[in-house]
Structure 1
Amino acid sequence: MEISRTWYLSIIRACPYSQSRIENGKSSSHLGWTVELYSWRLDPNLSGTSDLDYLGQLALHLTDEISRSPNSSELYFRRANAYLDSGRFQDAIDDYTKAIDLSPLDAIFFNNRGIAHRYMGDFNSAVADYDQALLLNPEYRDAFTNRGVVYADMGDLDSAVSDFDMAIELDSEFWFAYSQRGLALWALGRREEAEADYARLRELQS
């Protein structure tokens, strides 16, 4: 199967990997963060609410919380995530920046701001944010993956593969990194390696 670089880049841009921290969740083994178990879509009181309506309500609630706790980096971070998910990318960048100003050593804040910069088409700022996230946490799997996606956006597929390699080295079962590396390898003409990644991806998702 032949694959054009244009098609490849349109696919690889589809799924940036963001990070959130939720209380009362399950710890993630590789970094000790928590992963949300609660899904508002399954809540009978909220299941009829659209994504954008829910995110708008969440942003308003967090705005009220911020007015009472203006020095909480976590509140700015959570509102930024709501803005990011609702497509308000500049608002997300502004709030991630406020969170970073308050807590400049939090790698997750830089990672998520990088995602917002990427959606705005500012690839250089996105890479700079992922670089800083990795400086703060050299074992940050998702920052390697996200930076690899941006390198692919920029046409630097070799650097993208190197970052996906690092993500897989950190987490050998991270399906998303295999999917992105497979696309990059295929676009580079390294078909056997790409097919091996696709096979591993099918194994992980079976």
Structure 2
Amino acid sequence: MDYVHDLIKSLTDRIYTHPDDHEAVFLRGNGYLDSGQYELGIADYTVLINLPNPDERAFNNRALCWRGLGNVKQGLEDSTAAIDINPNYRDAYNNRGMLLADIGKHGQAINDFTRAIEIDPDYWYAYNNRAQSNLIMGNKSASFEDYEKVRTLLGH
């Protein structure tokens, strides 16, 4: 945690002297996200989202902050905005799938996890998430197949 705290401080110093360093704002937002300081992460990502050509990563990561705060509605809106900017952004599909699973919409979640896998067939995290939703829906064989794929991808 000290590393993240030090990183946030260093990036804050950088932003103070270079307020147009948007990458520093993004990285500080990531530090806030990683340390569970979701409101501060949302603030940084919102700065980037309000730029003329927002980056899909800012929407995606702000969605993760919203999820951390339990605000699924805002998270879904931001994940969808990230996908609208970049329809091949696997992380946004996976993260939207997790938000959908959080509210029990496992069928829709499976569709998003599947799309993430179509984009990146080696994305073990999406297989793992799809396996969980399949298991909850009673699709044990599909769940088992995905868990086996995770084991293979992780070399176990």
What are the Cα deviations for residues 58-105 of structure 1, in whole angstroms up to 9, with x where unaligned? 111111111111122211111111111111110110011112223543
1:93 maps to 2:42:
yes
Distance 1:92 1:127 in 2: 17
Conservation of the 8 A alpha-carbon contact between 1:72 and 1:102:
no
Distance 2:36 2:154 in 1: 29
2:76 to 127, 134, 139: 127
Letter of the structure 2 residue corresponding to residue 152 of structure 1: A
What are the Cα deviations for residues 119-177 of structure 1, in whole angstroms up to 9, with x where unaligned? 01010100100100000000000100000001000110011000011011111111111
Greater shift in the superposed pair: 54-63 or 158-167 = 54-63
2:63 to 114, 121, 127: 114
Structure with a larger share of its residues in helix: 2
CA radius of gyration, larger in = 1
Residue 198 of structure 1 corresponds to 147
1:157 maps to 2:111:
no
Residue 73 of structure 1 corresponds to 22
Conservation of the 8 A alpha-carbon contact between 1:73 and 1:100:
no
TM-score (norm 1): 0.73
Unaligned runs of 5+ in 2: none
Distance 1:100 1:165 in 2: 27
Structure 1 residue ranges (4+ consecutive) displaced by more than 2 angstroms after TM superposition: 102-105
Identity %: 39
Distance 1:77 1:140 in 2: 17
Residue 55 of structure 1 corresponds to 4
TM-score (norm 2): 0.95
- Secondary structure in structure 2 of the residue aligned to 1:147: helix
Distance 1:179 1:158 in 2: 15
Distance 1:202 1:55 in 2: 30
Unaligned runs of 5+ in 1: 1-51
Q: Which has the higher contact order (CA 8 A, sep 6+)?
A: 1
How many residue pairs get matched? 155
Greater shift in the superposed pair: 69-78 or 185-194 = 69-78
Conservation of the 8 A alpha-carbon contact between 2:48 and 2:54:
no
Letter of the structure 2 residue corresponding to residue 122 of structure 1: N
